[in-house]
C-alpha cells in the first residue's frame, strides 16, 4: 500500500503497472487514487460499514476518474463520504441501490399490470394506459422513477395546457402511481413528485336533454329499429358493393337496447357494453357489477329497463352482443360511435355525447325532487360532491310550492293587485 498526499503532481506521476494499485491519501483516511494497467485512474474511498472495527470487511466505492475531478475536489467528496460512514451510512450499498432503481417506464408497467388492471374497471385501465404510454413515458420513461422531479412533471403538464382535462388526469394518474410505488418499495416511501401540483381549471361539460329533446331522441331510436335511418351514399362514386335499392340502415336489437339502457339506467357506457347476463337479476330488478369506476356497484332497475332486458335475445355471455364476425356474443361490443352519430343527426340534436344520457338521467331525477342523496345512490356516486352538479335542478318542487302559494294569495286578493 502506497501512502502520499495526493496532489496533481501525484496523479501525473502515477504510472500504470502490470497490476492495478492504489495510492492512499495521508490527509483523508480511506481516500485514494486507483491506477489501472490501462492507464485509467479512478478516485476511490475505502471504509468499514456499520460500527467499523477490524472484524468488519472493507468496502470500496468508486466516484469518478482523475479527469472528472481534481484532487482537491475528489478529497472534498471523500470527506463527505467519510462523514456519512461515521453516521452509519453505507455509500457502496446506496450506490448499488441507486443503480438497481427502476426506470419510470418499469414502474408504470408494474402499476398497470398489478394495480390498475386487476383492481379497477376496464375503462379506467384503458384511460391510465393511454395517459402513461402516450403522454408521460415518451418524455420521462427513461428517467429513474425516484429521480423524476416535480418541475419535470409540471413542465409536462404545461405542455398539455390546451387540453386541461388530460393534463389534470395525467397528474392524478402519476400521483396514484407514485403512491402505489412507495408502498411496494419501488421508490422511497412518501416520495411523490406529482403530489401538490396545482391543477388547471376545467370547464365542466354537462349537457342535459330537455323533455322535447328526449322525445326527438326516442323517435330517432325507434325509427332506427323499425323503418331504418337514411343511408349516406355518395352519388359521385360508383361501387359494385353498394346495393342500389338499399337506402336505409336498420339497427339490430342489441344496439338499440344499449341506447335505451343508457337512457333508463343512468349507467356508464362501459358498464352497459361490458354487462354480462350473469350480472342481471330480473326477478329482483338488479344489476350486480363486480367492477365499475367506483368499485363494486348495484344498479336498481326501473320497470322500463327490466322490460328491455326481458325482451332482449340472449346471444352468448354479454347482454349487448358484439356483431363482429367470429366473436358474436363472446366479446363485448367496443363502442357505439357510428350508430350514435347517425341517430343524433337524424334526431336533429347537436353536441350530445353518450355520457350526456347519464347526466340526463340524474337531471330528470333532480327535477322531480327525488333528492340528491337518492340520485347519488342510483347513479353509484362514491362522493356526495359528484351529485352536487344536479343541485341547481333540484329546486323544481320549491318552485312549484312557491307558485301554489302565489296563486292562492293572488286568488284571495283578486282584483286588488
The predicted pLDDT at position 251 comes to 92
The predicted pLDDT at position 240 comes to 55
Q: Which set of grid coordinates corresponds to residue 235?
A: 352519388
Number of Cβ within 10 Å of residue 214's Cβ equals 17
pLDDT of 245 strictly over 70? no
Mean pLDDT computed over 183-203: 87
Range with the poorest average pLDDT among 234-238, 273-277, 386-390, 401-405: 234-238
Beta strand segments in 192-266, E: 229-230, 248-249
d(CA 329, CA 313): 11
Pairing of strands 229-230, 248-249: antiparallel
Residue 75's nearest CA partner among 29, 116, 38 is 29
The predicted pLDDT at position 334 comes to 84
Mean pLDDT computed over 187-194: 90
Mean pLDDT computed over 366-380: 76
Mean pLDDT computed over 200-219: 83
Mean pLDDT computed over 329-352: 88
pLDDT (tens digit, 9 = 90+) per residue, 3-26? Answer: 999 999 999 999 999 999 999 999
363 or 395: whose pLDDT is higher? 363
Structure confidence at residue 109 as a pLDDT band (50, 70, 90): very high
Q: Which set of grid coordinates corresponds to residue 297?
A: 356497484
User: 215-247 burial, b if ≥16 CB within 10 A, otherwise e?
Assistant: ebbeebbebbbeeebeeeeeeeeeeeeeeeeee
φ and ψ at 63, to 5 degrees? -130, 35
The predicted pLDDT at position 200 comes to 87
Structure confidence at residue 132 as a pLDDT band (50, 70, 90): very high
Mean pLDDT computed over 354-358: 88
The predicted pLDDT at position 377 comes to 79
Structure confidence at residue 175 as a pLDDT band (50, 70, 90): very high
Mean pLDDT computed over 341-348: 93
Question: What value does the mean pLDDT of the chain take?
Answer: 85
DSSP structural state of residue 393: G
Structure confidence at residue 33 as a pLDDT band (50, 70, 90): very high
pLDDT of 177 strictly over 70? yes
Percent of the chain with pLDDT over 90: 45
Q: Which set of grid coordinates corresponds to residue 33?
A: 487514487
d(CA 343, CA 345): 5
Mean pLDDT computed over 141-164: 93
Q: What does each C-alpha distance from 93 to 50, 96, 98, 113, 251 come to in angstroms?
A: 12, 5, 9, 29, 66
The predicted pLDDT at position 386 comes to 67
pLDDT of 95 strictly over 90? no
Mean pLDDT computed over 170-188: 91
Of 51-60, 262-271, 316-325, 379-388, which has the strongest mean pLDDT? Answer: 262-271
| Domains with residue ranges and CATH for the chain | 2-100 (3.30.160.390), 104-183 (1.10.150), 211-231+246-399 (1.10.443.10)
The predicted pLDDT at position 86 comes to 80
pLDDT (tens digit, 9 = 90+) per residue, 255-270? Answer: 999 999 998 988 888 8
Mean pLDDT computed over 198-202: 85
Amino acid at each position: 500500500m502506497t501512502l502520499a498526499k495526493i496532489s496533481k503532481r501525484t496523479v501525473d506521476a502515477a504510472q500504470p503497472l502490470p497490476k492495478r494499485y492504489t495510492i492512499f491519501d495521508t490527509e483523508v483516511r480511506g481516500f485514494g487514487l486507483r491506477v489501472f494497467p490501462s492507464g485509467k485512474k479512478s478516485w476511490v474511498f475505502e471504509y468499514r460499514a456499520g460500527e467499523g472495527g477490524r472484524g468488519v470487511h472493507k468496502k470500496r466505492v468508486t466516484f469518478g476518474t482523475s479527469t472528472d475531478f481534481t484532487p482537491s475536489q475528489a478529497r472534498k467528496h471523500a470527506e463527505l463520504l467519510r462523514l456519512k460512514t461515521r453516521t452509519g451510512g453505507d455509500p457502496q450499498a446506496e450506490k448499488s441501490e441507486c443503480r438497481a432503481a427502476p426506470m419510470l417506464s418499469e414502474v408504470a408497467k408494474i402499476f398497470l399490470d398489478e394495480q390498475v388492471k386487476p383492481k379497477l374497471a376496464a375503462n379506467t385501465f384503458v384511460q391510465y394506459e393511454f395517459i402513461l404510454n402516450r403522454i408521460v413515458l415518451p418524455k420521462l420513461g427513461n428517467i429513474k422513477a425516484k429521480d423524476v422531479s416535480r418541475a419535470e412533471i409540471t413542465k409536462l403538464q404545461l405542455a398539455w395546457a390546451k387540453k386541461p382535462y388530460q393534463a389534470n388526469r395525467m397528474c392524478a394518474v402519476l400521483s396514484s402511481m407514485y403512491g402505489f410505488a412507495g408502498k411496494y418499495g419501488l421508490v422511497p416511501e412518501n416520495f411523490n413528485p406529482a403530489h401538490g401540483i396545482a391543477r388547471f381549471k376545467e370547464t365542466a361539460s354537462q349537457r342535459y336533454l330537455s323533455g322535447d329533446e328526449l322525445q326527438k331522441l326516442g323517435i330517432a331510436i325507434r325509427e332506427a329499429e323499425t323503418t331504418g335511418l337514411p343511408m349516406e351514399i355518395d352519388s359521385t362514386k360508383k361501387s359494385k358493393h353498394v346495393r342500389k335499392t338499399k337506402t336505409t340502415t336498420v339497427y339490430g336489437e342489441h344496439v338499440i337496447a344499449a341506447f335505451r339502457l343508457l337512457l333508463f339506467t343512468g349507467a356508464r357506457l362501459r358498464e352497459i357494453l361490458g354487462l354480462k347476463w350473469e350480472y342481471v337479476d330480473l326477478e329482483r330488478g338488479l344489476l350486480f357489477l363486480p367492477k365499475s369506476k367506483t368499485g363494486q356497484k348495484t344498479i336498481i332497475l326501473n320497470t322500463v329497463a327490466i322490460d328491455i332486458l326481458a325482451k332482449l335475445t340472449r346471444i352468448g355471455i354479454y347482454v349487448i352482443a358484439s356483431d363482429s364476425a367470429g366473436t358474436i356474443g363472446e366479446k363485448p361490443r367496443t363502442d357505439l360511435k357510428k350508430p350514435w352519430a347517425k341517430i343524433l343527426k337524424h334526431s336533429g340534436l347537436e353536441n350530445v355525447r353518450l355520457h350526456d344520457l347519464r347526466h340526463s338521467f340524474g337531471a330528470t331525477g333532480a327535477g322531480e325532487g327525488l333528492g340528491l342523496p337518492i340520485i347519488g345512490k342510483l347513479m353509484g356516486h362514491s362522493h356526495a360532491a359528484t351529485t352536487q352538479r344536479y343541485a341547481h335542478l333540484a329546486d323544481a318542487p320549491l318552485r312549484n310550492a312557491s307558485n301554489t302559494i302565489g296563486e292562492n294569495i293572488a286568488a284571495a286578493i283578486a282584483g286588488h293587485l
